[in-house]
A = this chain, B = another copy of it.
Amino acid sequence: MKDKKRPLILVTNDDGITAKGIRTLVDIASKLGDVVVVAPDKPQSAMGHAITINDTLYVKEFKMHDYDHKEYTTSGTPVDCVKMASHEILERKPDLCVSGINHGSNSAINVIYSGTMSAAMEAGIEGIPAIGFSLCDYDADADFEPARPYVENIIKQVLENGMSKGVILNVNIPKATAEELKGVKICRQANAYWEEEFDKRTNPYGKDYYWLTGKFVNDDKGEDTDEWALEHNYISIVPTQFDLTAHHYIKELNTWEFGN
């Protein structure tokens, strides 16, 4: 018999259901609530807030592991997974959605390209408290062990305190040992960006093609940013929102000549 007071936790990610990061998150979440996993059947990194509207969606039960809880894959994006979970798979609205743990950083401007954070954002839009977790290590076999106690405590804090409507947590964990990790810092998104470089090649049939590459540039010297925290071995938490209005700029625009 399951304890009725245990929260229902939806777990998703963008690296696909078999990734090491989501397995770690499932382990941690299972200690704190009743877990259901709905995740993409293949990697969906950098999908941003994409949704599937011109194609069909498939859902399949996923039975690779010997768990008490249910797991499902969908053929869609991370955002599709959250939509499918809330409206088709789960019998009731989850108390929390956790996304990740992503293999790679979603700090600074990366939040906007991130499938991990878009899944969490989608849950937030639907009124479900949500957290996106990312480890700053792209390795498929990255070491998630040092992050465990922090991830567990952050989930506990959200379950205990609840979340303000419209706010989602973006948690990034530096690549560091348990001894090196210094704790948690609440931060703002650093004003950093990618300087793109396209790697131009020629295919065997003589046609040019490109790979998108680039280097991350952080000109933001603030000590209250996620980049600063990560560089100094702190776990960064940025409260993140989906009201994109630049409220401070409304007054300025009202002085422009729109011919009304």
Contact B245 A244 (CB under 8 A): no
Q: Is A197 an interface residue (CB 8 A)?
A: yes
Task: Say how many copies of this protein the assembly contains.
Answer: 2
- Contact A239-B211, Cβ < 8 Å, known A84-B198, A258-B153: no
Q: A164 — nearest CB in chain B belongs to which residue?
A: B249
Q: Is the CB of B258 within 8 A of A184?
A: yes
B244 in contact with A189 (CB, 8 Å)? yes
- Distance, CA A241 to CA B88, complexed state (A): 33
**CB closest chain-B residue, reference A52:** B212
Q: What's the minimum C-beta distance from A139 to chain B, rounded to whole angstroms?
A: 16
Residue of B nearest to A237 (CB): B253
Taking a contact as CB atoms under 8 Å apart, the answer to whether A211 and B245 are in contact is: no
Residue of B50, B157, B167, B212 touching A47 (CB-CB under 8 A): B50
Q: How many residues of A contact B (CB 8 A)?
A: 78
The DSSP consensus for interface residues of chain A is mixed
With most chain B CB atoms within 10 A of its CB, the pick from A43, A240, A253 is A253
Chain B contacts for A161, CB-based, 8 A: 256
- Assess the A83–B247 pair: CB atoms within 8 A: no
With both chains docked as a complex, state the minimum distance between the C-beta of A51 and any C-beta of chain B, in angstroms: 5
Among B183, B208, B250, the residue within 8 A (CB) of A260 is B183
Give, as a whole number of angstroms, the nearest-CB distance from A149 to chain B. 8
A130 → chain B closest CB, angstroms: 13
Which chain B positions have C-beta within 8 A of A56?
A: 203, 209-211
